[in-house]
Amino acid sequence: MSRMHSRGKGKSGSNKPHSKTSPEWSNSDKKEIEETIVQLSKQGHSNAMIGSILRDKHGVPDVRLVTGERISQTLSRLNVETGYPEDLMSLMRRALRLIDHLAQNGKDVHNRRQLELCESKIRRLSRYYKQNDVLGSDWTYKRDQLRLMVE
């Protein structure tokens, strides 16, 4: 697999050890973990942050091994509204930071290009989410309304 807007192939990185069962030492009470996921989501944490909190504070090395599904799937099954998908939201936050930077530094052509690439990724990802009915079919990315969507 290659990177979207660069020359590299992007193969580096570590892989999690392959395991189908949760370790004996871990917290494996499915009901308790689901309640914790809902509480953390209502506090405003993202799915990645929920996984980190469960790992660090509650002794759950992998939520998927205990519950049999991802955190986002658990939240959707329990009818907890999450708003925009996490990856789309992080791209929109990045675009907002770049817009704020370019407002102060108008001649920064390198970051202007990075903003164009980031907005391209947002449009591509939103097209995918529209096809899979995660976003409404009338949703569009607008730079002037971005601050309202993120906050």
**From residue 104, how far is each of 64, 90, 148 by CA, in Å?**
44, 22, 20
Residue 16 is classified by DSSP as P
Supply the pLDDT for residue 113. Answer: 96
Residue 27: is its pLDDT beyond 90? Answer: no
Read off the pTM. 0.79
Does residue 8 lie in a domain region? no
Among residues 56, 77, 98, the one where a domain terminates is 77
Among residues 77, 97, 113, the one where a domain terminates is 77
Q: How many Cα neighbours within 13 Å face the side chain of 149?
A: 21
Does residue 24 lie in a domain region? no
Number of domains within the chain: 2
Exposure string of 97-110, with b = 16+ CB inside 10 Å and e = fewer, is ebbeebeeeeeeee
Mean pLDDT score of the chain, rounded to an integer? 91
Do 90 and 67 belong to one domain? no
Supply the pLDDT for residue 93. Answer: 95
pLDDT digits (tens, 9 = 90+) for 110-120: 999 999 999 99
Supply the pLDDT for residue 126. Answer: 95
Domain that holds residue 103: 86-150
Do 110 and 54 belong to one domain? no
Query: Per mean pLDDT, which of 3-7, 20-24, 88-92 is the most reliable?
Result: 88-92
* CATH number, domain containing residue 139: 1.10.287.10
Supply the pLDDT for residue 2. Answer: 64
22 contacts: CB under 8 Å, gap ≥ 6: 28, 61, 62, 65, 66
